[in-house]
Amino acid sequence: MVLEIFSKYFKQIEALNLKFYSIPYDIIKQKTILERIALYDFSFETVILMVIALMALIFHFGRNQNLKITNMIMNPFNDAMHLEFGNIGFNYRMKKIPYITEYQNTLVTGFYTGRKNVESVELKVHLSSRFNPLGLIMEKLMKGVFSGLLEDNLEEFVEITIKPNNYAATSKSSDGSNELFPTQDRKTLPKKYQFVSGIVSKHSMTSSRKKYYYLNTIPMIETPRLPKEYVFMTENNTLSNGIFYKNHQENEKLNDLLDNCKWFLKSFTITDLPDDQPILDTDFDKASSRIHIVTKLVKDQKDVDHLIQLVQYALSIYDDFTNGEFDKIFMNPNLLKKIESLRTHEKNKVLKIMKEVELEMKKRNLEVKKEEKK
């Protein structure tokens, strides 16, 4: 049936130039190029060219839209970070680039380093492919039909990762390596950086848990301290109250900030566990301490300003960490024991899966060998 419809259209297209093709070759040969062009019906070719031009226009417009959003976020962010960091953006072929755009402006990365107590800040803006509206519609339709099976790639979000400079100056020099920030693992990472505690928006509790492994490992705690739109997701209430509310004091500044960010903030988590479920035990050990902020795509300048304030608050947390403000929290042996047991439990889970996979592989190899012998 579909082929019938197509063949009908193809016949109609062919019929446009039946007159031209019916002229014998010898007569056509005698005509000049202009005469031949005048004889040929170019309506189909014109339509195709117009479609291509329209596609190019949409592509250009979509890319520019993404660039506009990027500049709306990145320019004020870079300006604010100039006051905090010594090094903004990237160096490429002796040129300074404020941010990198990839995949036709759908992934934008900003990088900031050179600040006391903080190793780096990485800002990632994930945008949808506005230059391909047909693809977006198809993806949306597919997501609607197979909602349980397909991942949501259409979601636009901002992701900020702040890594602390948690290496003591003495340990750097004694190590002997020339690396400025050597990769850490669970053994070298100081104990006071090994925990998961965060503030998560109630609207995105389930989706954040599904997406980020570190949130999946910890319980949710409701508290009247936070604005009603948020909950704590933390290993232990002592940690969240100690860090965000400086040992059960009022923190008006944080509450105001959270209230301002309630339209876009999804999660604000201090974590040492990986984002994705680790497959290998080495992946589990490799994870480093960081503050991971995830927000919806900020729409206006006011929201960008609030996002900057949120990042500045996150930076202040690491200042307090280095100044030893939270050292008291980590002197509780029960808390340390609980933190340790969660990590051991999670690592055992990974090891169990690894063993199961290994056994399965061995079984398969044996089966293959048996078949080869036969």
Residue with Cβ nearer other proteins (129 or 271): 271
The two beta strands, 107-115 and 87-88, are antiparallel
The distance of closest approach from Cβ of residue 213 to other proteins in the complex, given in angstroms and rounded to an integer, is 8
Q: In whole angstroms, what is the distance from residue 261 CA to residue 274 CA? A: 25
Count CB atoms within 10 A of the CB of residue 235.
Answer: 23
Q: Which residue number, 82 or 228, has a Cβ lying nearer to other proteins?
A: 228
What string of DSSP letters covers 103-115? TTTTEEEEEEEEE
Closer by beta carbon to other proteins, 210 or else 355: 210
Q: Which is nearer to other proteins, 84 or 229 (CB)?
A: 229
Q: Which long-range contacts link 97-100 to residues 24+ away (Cβ below 8 Å)?
A: 98/74, 99/70, 99/74, 99/123
The alpha carbon dihedral of 95, 99, 100, 105 has a sign of negative
From the CB of 206, what's the least distance to other proteins, in Å?
5
Task: Provide, rounded to whole angstroms, the least separation between the CB of residue 236 and other proteins.
Answer: 18
How many angstroms separate the CA atoms of 159 and 124, rounded?
5
- Tell me how far apart the alpha carbons of residues 14 and 50 are, in angstroms, rounded to a whole number: 19
Q: Is 117 helix (H, G, I), strand (E, B) or coil?
A: coil
Contacting residues for 102 by C-beta, under 8 A, at least 6 apart = 108, 109
**Separation CA 297–CA 160 (nearest Å):** 12
- Strand residues in 33-170 grouped as ranges (E): 87-88, 90-92, 95-97, 100-102, 107-115, 118-126, 157-164
Which of 46, 344 has the CB closer to other proteins? 344
Tell me the closest approach of the beta carbon of residue 273 to other proteins, in angstroms.
Answer: 14
Residue 222 CB, nearest distance to other proteins (Å)?
6
Q: Which residue, 255 or 312, has its beta carbon nearer to other proteins?
A: 255
Q: Tell which residue, 232, 344, 211, 180, has the closest CA to residue 274.
A: 211
Enter the tokens of residue 155.
């979601």
| Phi and psi at residue 269, to the nearest 5° | -130, 135
Binding residues for other proteins, rule: CB under 8 A, are 144, 146-149, 202-203, 205-206, 209-210, 213, 216, 220, 222, 228-229, 231, 277, 349, 353
Cβ contact 207:214 at 8 Å = no
Structure tokens at 224: 């009247």
* Least gap, CB of 361 to other proteins (angstroms): 19
CB of 228 to other proteins, least distance (A): 6
If the CB atoms of residues 213 and 321 are measured against other proteins, the closer one turns out to be 213
Min dist CB 52 to other proteins, Å, is: 32
For the CB of residue 149, give the shortest distance to other proteins in the complex, in Å.
Answer: 6
Nearer of residues 229 and 325 to other proteins, judged by Cβ: 229
Strand partners, 101: 108
Q: Which is nearer to other proteins, 21 or 146 (CB)?
A: 146
Report, in Å, the least distance between residue 262 CB and other proteins: 10
Nearer to other proteins, 131 or 212 (CB): 212
